[in-house]
Amino acid sequence: MRPRRTRQLAAVEDVLLAASDHPTAAQIHERVAQLMPQVSLGTVYRNLEKLAQAGRAVVVRFDGEVTRYDGTVESHDHFVCRGCGCIVDLFAEVGPAVDTGALERAGYAVAEHSLAVFGTCPACA
Amino acid sequence: MRPRRTRQLAAVEDVLLAASDHPTAAQIHERVAQLMPQVSLGTVYRNLEKLAQAGRAVVVRFDGEVTRYDGTVESHDHFVCRGCGCIVDLFAEVGPAVDTGALERAGYAVAEHSLAVFGTCPACA
DNA sequence: CTTTCTGCAAACTCTTTGCACTCGT
DNA sequence: ACGAGTGCAAAGAGTTTGCAGAAAG
């Protein structure tokens, strides 16, 4: 079961890397379809799954919303603006630090975390 | 549109308050149905929505999982064990502190956050 | 009585899957 | 040629909703 480099897989990855808006599967399909009108939504889902498993895409889901995909693979958090709906990637320098020290002292082994901060972005304030 | 105190609404809230396992809508329906066999899943969803809007229930959704409901209304985080699947409520004393200072200095108004920490719980280690 | 709520079932949305065909290797 | 990948359309899972009747105030 050796994976193949198909045009569809490459297109999905290209769209994901070019996107900064954390698109949904439907949006990715729409964008891929601009250059490859025959591509099906099912194939987009299959390739997104493939990329996610390969660690080349991140699946993001905020409470109550549709699943989104992020081409930024490095560990980071998210800020979701309640005003304009924009989603900002937060890296260590800017992002909130999560201190799991107390948790680990309590006997929990921490592997990773998923953090979304909600509020208003500078542009909306 | 003055809300009414129906037996179904009360039952859903009771189940939610008695539960410590962050049940799904289907699980809540199952439990409510033990005392009230006629209750429909649709009604459970409608009442959960009502409780959430009233701030008497919290909607929780971890990446890739089904929506869960939490009767613990105070702001808190969650630990999700990859071993046994248990979900632990994390309050300030034990839970990880999220420092949004840098974010706020960058011009973001922070309202709230949603944090899930994944790893292995003491019982599973 | 009036109006909200309920049960039921159908509809909806998002995602997954079976199948025959295509295309990468 | 072989078999993973594709397009299509149908199926699934989870959630929402329209409607007529039930029930709270």
| The two structure tokens encoding residue B54 | 């009233």
> Testing the interface with B: which of A108, A110, A112, A124 to mutate, by most B Cβ within 10 A?
A108
- Whether the per-residue pLDDT at B63 is higher than 90: the answer is no
pLDDT > 70: percent of chain B: 100
Measured CA to C1', the nucleotide nearest A38 is D7
CA–CA–CA angle A12, A18, A24 (5° rounding): 55
Q: Which residue is nearest to nucleotide D17 (CA to C1')?
A: B42
Length of chain A: 125
Q: What is the pLDDT of residue A18?
A: 97
Tens-place pLDDT, residues B6-58: 999 999 999 999 999 999 999 999 999 999 999 999 999 999 999 999 999 99
Tens place of pLDDT per residue across chain A (125 aa): 788 999 999 999 999 999 999 999 999 999 999 999 999 999 999 999 999 999 999 999 987 788 999 999 999 999 999 999 899 999 987 777 889 999 999 999 999 999 999 999 999 98
Measured CA to C1', the nucleotide nearest A2 is D4
A93 contacts B98? CB cut-off 8 A: no
Q: Which residue is nearest to nucleotide D25 (CA to C1')?
A: B4
CA–CA–CA angle A8, A61, B88 (5° rounding): 140
Task: Find the mean pLDDT for residues B111-125.
Answer: 94
A121 contacts B107? CB cut-off 8 A: yes
| The two structure tokens encoding residue B40 | 């429909």
**Distance from the A62 Cα atom to the nearest Cα atom in chain B, whole angstroms:** 7
Tens-place pLDDT, residues B38-47: 999 999 999 9
Q: What is the DSSP string of chain A?
A: ------HHHHHHHHHHHH--S--BHHHHHHHHHHH-TT--HHHHHHHHHHHHHTTSSEEE--TTS--EEES--S--EEEEETTT--EEEE-TTTSPEEE-HHHHHTTPEEEEEEEEEEEE-TTT-
Q: What is the pLDDT of residue B46?
A: 98
**Residues A69/A57, Cβ–Cβ less than 8 Å:** yes
pLDDT-based confidence at residue B87 (cuts at 50, 70, 90): very high
